[in-house]
Chains A and B, each alone.
Chain A
Amino acid sequence: MTTARIIFVDDEPRVLDGLRRSLRVRRDEWGMDFVTSGADALELMAESSCDVIVSDIRMPEMDGAELLTHVSEHHPEVARVALSGQAESDAAIKVAIAGHRFLTKPTDAESVSRVVEQLIVRTSNEHCVEVRRMAGSVRALPTIPEHLGQLTALFRASEIDLATAIRAASHDIGLTAKLLQLSTSAFFGARARTASVESVVNALGLPVVQALTAGEQMLWSPLDLDSADEVHLGMTWRHAVATAHLVESIASPANRAFAYAAALLQDVGRFVCLAHAVKGDTAAMDITASGFRGIPYRHIGVELLHLWGLPEPIINAVAERDLEHEPSSSGMGVATALRAAHLLIQQTESRDHSDGAHDEELAALLTHPQLVARGVDWRSAADEMSTSAEQWSFLETPS
């Protein structure tokens, strides 16, 4: 196995010297380069391949946001880590969009090592290079075209209230993914208490969320989708929302936030591909298919969640959504809860032409003591969630 290659960028040579010394224990596993400018880093990347870049934000000439954005476009296979001592500036917002992981100074070598180590791991075995390139190129996921206007107006309004913002963000796939990505670090100050959009928005504060959504970088939609694709994206989104609402009552309280997020992000791979394809060939991508050029959308989505550092239970649940699950005798995990909710919602959606393929599995899952004990008619609950997802609107005020 070739050693991983990491590039560290900081305009302060002393910081680089410190990192070089404290990361020296890794010298047999990693090839490390330390450079004092973005230009030097890009030059190195042009010469030979690289796995991870760790960059300071505030630098003269090319700052960290600019560098990471450039890397996302020209070297999408390189994982992007921001290491900064300052987070309230406009540059920090740009970095929040361009980066994969965020570390704040002062940080210790172990934290840097841990993040780099995770990023070297690739989730897809068969298509690891292509999957990393596709997932890596994405800075923000697209929102579905019919929602864009409403979301944009909502977040740019001067008097948006917290409840409305949380309700909207937790029903948009791209925003949910980005906010959960930011929740794993204390980059903007406070750290979120749970993996829910609500707690992330509370931790970041509305001004940061509004700053994040202000540019066209964060809230966007592909322009050239044909109507069939738009319809399919709408269905994907409604399925995600219905599943998310249902899984909230299926999952145990401890797993609820994870399960909700996993349900909303279950088909995130399609959005990743869409974002990636926009740069080249939307035509080559078939949204209704299960993959892109032979690579399952699921692999691409899971790689993105991994790159963005979302909590493990969410990633696993998304990865295992299409695997057959058996009810375990112990508590129901996030992945099984998602699988059960997904099958229930799927059944309500395809009632008229159900092939009955997963009927047995679902029936078995519904016998799990955790679900039985609740005394809920899960099939009619699923019907209800599907209907309410059909009618759901961003503009409605939360009751």
Chain B
Amino acid sequence: MFAGAPILTEGSDIVGVVWVSDHQPHHRIDEHVGELLVALAGNAALRAELGGPRLQEYEHLAEMLQSAAFRCDPKGILEWVSPSWLTLTGFSAETMVGQPLSQYIPGKPDNEGSYSFPGPTDELTHRAHGSLLVSGGSSVPVLVILKRIRVQEHGGGAVLGVVTDIREQQQRELGIRHDQKLESLGRLSAGIAHEINTPIQFVGDNTRFLASAYQEMLNLLFVYRECMDSPAGGMSWNEHGERARKAEQKADIDYLAAEVPAAVEQSLEGIERVASLVRAMKSFSYKDANDRSYSDLNEALRTTLTVARNEVKYVADVILDLGDVPDVLCHVGDLNQVFLNLLVNAADAIGEQDGRGEIRISTRTEGSTVVIAFTDTGCGIPEDIRQVIFEPFFTTKEVGKGTGQGLALARTVVHEKHGGTIEVHPGATGGTAFVLRLPIDGKGSKGT
């Protein structure tokens, strides 16, 4: 991966490029590097005493960059674009210069993917996701980094920027999310098999019992019928009674009378257990990641708990303390995944210790946000690693037990997809509390 920024003189000539490359195949360059590069380039330009002959070299470099760079006047009219813009979009520099930047990266105020154009007194570096228009009318998701710099022309200001194609990065994130889903699915499937096996075992046993009970009752019924049918002269009433009593004894009718209803009831209960598990599995993975809708998070938490019951039930009691919370505009499929990760982590933390623990899941409304807390009585997270647990690939689990993606994804989902927050605190009685805050009306609402 490459990232770079042009070094522009006050006369807005390109005199160089500051760039970094990273040869690790799956390593993405931190977005801060882009900021740093723009700042560095500005600094370099101010101090530059670079002569004309080297200008060409820097233009070659700019050409090789994978990110596109540009310069605008304070009103946002493009004055210069790097050659790589052409490779990225198919538009040539000639057609673009003189046009407003917003024509190529449309700003969508107050919405996802917006970036703000720095005003006259703004000296901050701005970073935002946007979509870059490419020739043919489609667009490409990009990261835009821009900064106002002080120059002598235009009454003292110009705006420099770098535009980076983030399709590959998004693809990779999608891949990681998919891997993580598969990982938790693998773990869950063993547990779910067990949860289904148990009812199937006793439903099977009960049904076999019912089949034999039915046969015994039917045999008894036939005896009764014979007693009814036999001509009055054949047998006395006493003899009839005696025969029926013997048949009843043989069938152990009292036992059957007591056990058959229980066997039926327990079989139905077993079938309901399997059915509710299957329902939970369907709703757990139903929502597509791109669907945003108002969803009942209490229901989502219950679903997650049903699906992961086998992961938890041997180590902890789960207490649901679900408040009266409104539906939240969210990607509920992604949140289910987050809830699952937090629940399984809590169970693992408790499993590290001797004895049974407790996991408390609570929800409540706080202003325009819904707060969801997972509190466990597990081994806790040492203070020195509390800061890094959300980093990708950080894990304390044994090799093969976890990929270290769970919490990193939880943060991505909560922060970036929902404009919420996720915090970790030490629990009141040892253990850990994870607190999620989600804006009720979704990302971009007043809650963020």
Contact = CB atoms under 8 A, between A and B. Distances in A.
Interface in A1-41: 12, 14-15, 17-19, 21-22, 24-25
B200 interface: yes
B314 A58 contact: yes
Interface in A102-135: 105-109
Nearest to B315: A60
B303 interface: no
A86 B194 contact: yes
A106 B201 contact: yes
Given A12-B198, A24-B209, A60-B356, A18 B204 contact: yes
B31 to A, nearest CB: 39
A21 B216 CA distance: 14
Interface string B198-235: 11111111101100100000000000000000000000
Contacts of B255: 24
B201 A22 contact: no
Given A21-B263, A58-B194, A60-B314, A14 B209 contact: no
In the complex, which of the residues A21, A107, A108 has the most CB atoms of chain B within 10 Å of its own CB atom?
Answer: A21
A105 B200 contact: yes
B208 A108 contact: yes
Q: Is the interface of B mostly helix, strand, loop or mixed?
A: helix
A86 B190 contact: yes
Contacts of B266: 14, 17-18
B259 interface: yes
26 contacts: A12-B198, A14-B266, A14-B269, A14-B270, A15-B201, A15-B202, A15-B205, A17-B263, A18-B204, A18-B206, A18-B263, A18-B266, A21-B205, A22-B206, A25-B212, A85-B198, A89-B190, A105-B198, A105-B200, A106-B197, A106-B201, A106-B204, A107-B201, A108-B204, A108-B205, A109-B205
A88 interface: yes
Contacts of A89: 190
In the complex, which of the residues B193, B200, B201, B203 has the most CB atoms of chain A within 10 Å of its own CB atom?
Answer: B201
Nearest to B203: A18
Contacts of A106: 197, 200-201, 204
B266 to A, nearest CB: 5
A21 B212 CA distance: 10
B206 A21 contact: yes
Given A19-B205, A25-B212, A60-B356, A88 B190 contact: yes
Given A14-B202, A18-B209, 16 more contacts: A15-B205, A17-B263, A18-B202, A18-B266, A21-B205, A21-B206, A24-B255, A25-B212, A58-B314, A59-B314, A60-B313, A86-B193, A105-B201, A108-B204, A108-B205, A109-B208
Interface string A78-98: 000000011011000000000
Interface in B253-267: 255, 259, 262-263, 266
Contacts of B194: 58, 85-86
A109 B203 CA distance: 12
Contacts of A88: 190
Contacts of A12: 198, 202
Interface string B155-175: 000000000000000000000
In the complex, which of the residues B198, B204, B206 has the most CB atoms of chain A within 10 Å of its own CB atom?
Answer: B198
B208 A85 contact: no
A85 B197 contact: yes
B209 A85 contact: no
Interface residues of A, number: 22
A86 B209 CA distance: 25
In the complex, which of the residues B206, B209, B259, B269 has the most CB atoms of chain A within 10 Å of its own CB atom?
Answer: B209
Contacts of A60: 313-314, 356
A86 B197 contact: yes
A88 B400 CA distance: 14
Nearest to A110: B208
Nearest to A89: B190
B402 to A, nearest CB: 16
Given A24-B209, A85-B193, A17 B204 contact: no
Contacts of A58: 194, 314
Contact of A15 (B198, B209, B259, B313): B198
A192 B190 CA distance: 22
A311 B69 CA distance: 77
A86 B313 CA distance: 15
Contacts of A22: 205-206, 208-209
B208 A17 contact: no
Contacts of A18: 201-206, 209, 263, 266
A24 B193 CA distance: 28
Nearest to A16: B202
A14 B209 CA distance: 14
In the complex, which of the residues B194, B202, B209, B259 has the most CB atoms of chain A within 10 Å of its own CB atom?
Answer: B202
In the complex, which of the residues B205, B206, B259, B269 has the most CB atoms of chain A within 10 Å of its own CB atom?
Answer: B205
Contacts of B201: 15, 18, 85, 105-107
B408 to A, nearest CB: 27
A387 B262 CA distance: 68
Contacts of B208: 22, 108-109
In the complex, which of the residues A89, A106, A109 has the most CB atoms of chain B within 10 Å of its own CB atom?
Answer: A106
A86 B194 CA distance: 6
A259 to B, nearest CB: 38
In the complex, which of the residues A14, A25, A105, A108 has the most CB atoms of chain B within 10 Å of its own CB atom?
Answer: A14
Contacts of A15: 198, 201-202, 205
A105 B356 CA distance: 26
A230 B425 CA distance: 60
A105 B195 CA distance: 11
A312 to B, nearest CB: 27
Contacts of A85: 193-194, 197-198, 201
Contacts of B356: 60
Interface string A40-72: 000000000000000000111000000000000
Interface string B98-118: 000000000000000000000
Nearest to A22: B205
B214 to A, nearest CB: 13
A108 B202 CA distance: 9
Interface string A311-323: 0000000000000
Contacts of B204: 18, 106, 108
A103 B4 CA distance: 64
B259 to A, nearest CB: 6
Contacts of A17: 202, 206, 262-263, 266
Contacts of B259: 21
B270 to A, nearest CB: 7
A308 B275 CA distance: 38
Nearest to B212: A25
Contacts of B198: 12, 14-15, 85, 105
A58 B255 CA distance: 31
A397 to B, nearest CB: 29
B240 to A, nearest CB: 29
Nearest to A11: B314
B197 A105 contact: yes
A60 B317 CA distance: 12
Nearest to A59: B314
A85 B255 CA distance: 30
A30 to B, nearest CB: 16
